[in-house]
Amino acid sequence: MTPKYEPFKFRYERFGGILQLERPNALIYVDRDYMRDLGYPDSPLWDEDGSVLSVLSAPTEVHLALTKKCSAGCRMCYMDSAPDGAGDGEMGREGVFAALARLAKMRVFHLALGGGESTELPWLFEVAHVARGLGMIPNLTTNGFHITGENAAEFAVFGQVNISIDGVGDRYATHRGINGFDRAFRALRALKRKSVRTGINCVVSRHNFEYLEEIFALGEDVGIQQLELLRYKPAGRAADIDAFLAHDLDDDQAWRFFPKVMDLAKEYDTPLAIDCSLTPYLYCHNPDQEKLEFYGVTGCHGGNMLCGVGADGAASACSFASSENRTVFNIQDWWGREDTFFAFRKWVDAAPQPCASCDFLKLCRGGCHVVSKHESGDIYAPDPGCPKVRRYNADQAAV
Amino acid sequence: MAIKKGRGKGKILQIRYGINPNSSSLGADVQVLIWGAAFASVATIFLSAMLRVFRRWRGNGHDA
């Protein structure tokens, strides 16, 4: 089946609108005059004030776990997935289709499909084609174990497929406790041979930080479209096996992180993305704020740009946050309410020190609130991994 | 840093490049921080032109 591409899509927002292109892929936020100039009539949303940083009419992307079943059994799985992980409470095929219909009605742009391991589902491609038919771009995160030369072409339905690889060769097992490097590498090659847009997701911790160059070199060798670096998160089995701070970057690495990865991105000509929880490691180097805002290099927008949906349909501000008893099946009823994901959306208003006096508060939004809550029990606490927070805490302890 | 487009009215307020297949957190494309000002301007003008072409192609109201 030939994938149906939607080269252009738009939706209204209070500030104007968001326009989407798929090739090149970009979400372009424009003001009301721009929308009018393109010929769009005024929207009732324009009766209200709003900026690009205020709450949107819908998430731009939804992270959708299709199942909790995964046969890999990684030691640090943040979803706590297992071979027998699929329970009776999962949405299943029909439930996922119902969820897609609701998200499409809200004009969500992107889906990030995950699990569990969604390539173990016989109806994965059906989901992707239905999403395409509804005008959304389905993307996929996978361990790659089930991608072969025979089925690789089918993955062209996805906007992009990222394969999780935290280390090259034996270092693959650093976090996961299993070595699936050869299978993941074969999957990368198979996808590239079929011209599928492909990337690597790499979880960064103090244990693989010094070996990141090997991942960049791998990316260049294969010719990936993106290397996305992710922070180690304290969730699922990763929250239980060890103290989180034993995995998070140490003080020296935290300061070296951003200069190092930018140098590697230039040297290996690898398009680089970092996840929202790593942005404090960028902001501590005082980069150009206007440029960051214009290109959307921002911190936590959980519960606004992003909504997480579990395999049971429970909706949360992000995949690591609790669901607050909301489901995707009536998202239109609660998304716009004042109390929805209040701690995430309004975090900046209650920011403690040192965040409150940080020049980057508006962009950073306090680092990863899931990390804060895990470490201190308080979602409003500053992210203890932020290099500036570390220095502040050390100074306070020395007084 | 909102950018006024070449002709007509209105501004581009933000451009978020790339796709985020990662199903656990938001991704930010930091490649743009490597770009020089001239390249970034050309890229923005190019996107602006593409929007105009696609909009004309879809036609008023077709996708509203």
User: In sequence order, what DSSP letters do the residues of A5-64 get, joined into one string?
Assistant: P--EEEEEETTEEEEEETTTTEEEEEEHHHHHHTTPPP-GGGGS---TTS--SS-SEEEE
Residue A158 is predicted with a pLDDT of 97
Q: Which of A31, A38, A272 has the CB atom closest to B55's CB atom?
A: A38
Q: If DSSP codes are grouped into helix, strand and coil, which group holds residue A226? A: strand
Which residues of B are less than 8 Å from A296 in CB distance? 14-16, 28-29
Nearest chain B residue to A275, by CA? B27
> Residue A307 is inside which H or E element, if any?
strand A306-309
pLDDT at A213 (0 to 100): 98
The answer to whether B55 faces chain A, any CB pair under 8 Å, is yes
- Residue B2 belongs to some domain of the structure: no
**What is the average pLDDT value for chain A, to the nearest integer?**
93
Inter-chain residue contact B20 with A139, CB threshold 8 Å: yes
Q: Is residue A236 within 8 Å of A80, Cβ to Cβ?
A: yes
- B63 near A CB under 8 A: yes
CB A59 within 8 A of CB A102: no
Q: 């699922």: which residue's tokens? A: A236
Give the model's pLDDT for residue B20.
Answer: 86
How far B55 CA lies from chain A's nearest CA (Å)? 7
Q: List the alpha helices (DSSP H) in chain A.
A: 32-37, 92-105, 124-133, 173-176, 181-193, 212-222, 237-240, 251-268, 279-283, 289-294, 331-334, 342-345, 361-364, 369-376, 387-398
3-state secondary structure A52-105: CCCCCCCCCEEEEECCCECCCCCCCCCCCCECCCCCCCCCHHHHHHHHHHHHHH
- Return the pLDDT at A134: 95
Assess if residue B44 is contained within a domain.
yes
Largest interatomic CA distance in chain A? 66
CA distances A347 to A15, A136, A340, A341, A357, Å, are: 21, 29, 12, 10, 14
User: Are A294 and B3 within 8 A, CB to CB?
Assistant: yes
Can you give the pLDDT at residue A253? 97
* Number of domains chain B is built from: 1
User: What 3-state class would DSSP assign to A272?
Assistant: strand
Determine the structural domain holding residue B54 and report its residue range: 24-64
pLDDT tens readout for residues B25-62: 888 889 888 887 788 888 888 888 888 887 777 664 44
Scanning every residue of chain B, which has its alpha carbon at the shortest distance from the alpha carbon of A319?
A: B24
Residues of chain A short of pLDDT 50, as ranges, are 1-3
Q: How confident is the model at residue B64 (pLDDT cuts 50, 70, 90)?
A: very low
Domain membership flag for residue B16: no
Q: What pLDDT, on a 0 to 100 scale, did the predictor assign at position B57?
A: 72
* pLDDT at residue A61, as a whole number: 96
Q: Do B19 and A63 touch (CB under 8 A)?
A: no
pLDDT digits (tens, 9 = 90+) for A309-362: 999 999 999 999 988 899 999 999 999 999 999 999 999 999 999 999 999 999
pLDDT of B3 higher than 70: no
Probe site for chain B from A295, A305, A307 (most B CB atoms < 10 A)? A295
- Residue at B42 is within a domain: yes
Q: What is the pLDDT of residue A241?
A: 64
What is d(CA A379, CA A376) in angstroms, rounded to the nearest whole number? 8
CB B28 to CB A274 under 8 A? yes
CA nearest A289 in B: which residue? B1
